[in-house]
Amino acid sequence: MQLPAPASLADALAAALARSQPLVVMASLQGCPFCKIAREHYLVPELAAGLPVVQIDFRDSRIVRDFDGSTRTHDALIKAWKVTVAPTVLFFGRNGREVAERLTGGDSDFYGAYLEARLQQARTAVRS
């Protein structure tokens, strides 16, 4: 199971904000077992429930339009965000600003609780 890879983060964010939701972005690495768990057990179900979730990949040369309209590769975007651990889940609100603490790594019995706490923080920020 995969999450959608956005052509435009700006468009994905606008669609999320129109629904009073943050844009959730998973930074993933192909072959990463923790990424697979986070994606399949937590983020894909959230996407199915209507949460705007997309995936950006380490070492990926696909082009994406950033929040400011510039274009860069997935890998360059991850480096610009200073993401160093896979998986990392980021939560974006207005103007492409992060609105909750990043959720890094995936080896925890409490991952679902940590994700829910970050989502609550992000939703509160987006709706205020």
Question: What's the confidence (pLDDT) of residue 19?
Answer: 97
Per-residue pLDDT of 51-63, as tens digits, reads: 999 999 999 999 9
Four-point Cα dihedral 82, 84, 85, 91, nearest 10:
10
**17-42 core/surface letters (b: 16 or more CB in 10 A; e: else):** beeebbbbbbbbbeebebbebbbeeb
pLDDT of residue 108: 77
Q: 36 is written with which tokens? A: 């697979």
Instruction: Enumerate the domain spans of the chain.
Output: 9-127
pLDDT interval class at 2 (50, 70, 90): confident
* Calpha distance 53→25 (Å, rounded): 6
Please give the DSSP secondary-structure letter assigned to residue 8: B
Distance separating alpha carbons of residues 65 and 108, to the nearest angstrom: 32
Query: Span 9-127: which CATH code?
Result: 3.40.30.10
Give the contacts of 60 (CB within 8 A, at least 6 positions apart). 73, 74, 75
Instruction: Note the pLDDT tens digit of each residue in 28-53.
Output: 999 999 999 999 999 999 999 999 99
Let me know the angle formed at the C-alpha of 111 by 127 and 62, rounded to the nearest 5 degrees. 75
Percent pLDDT > 70 in the chain is: 100
Give which of 96, 94, 103 is closest to 80, Cα–Cα: 96
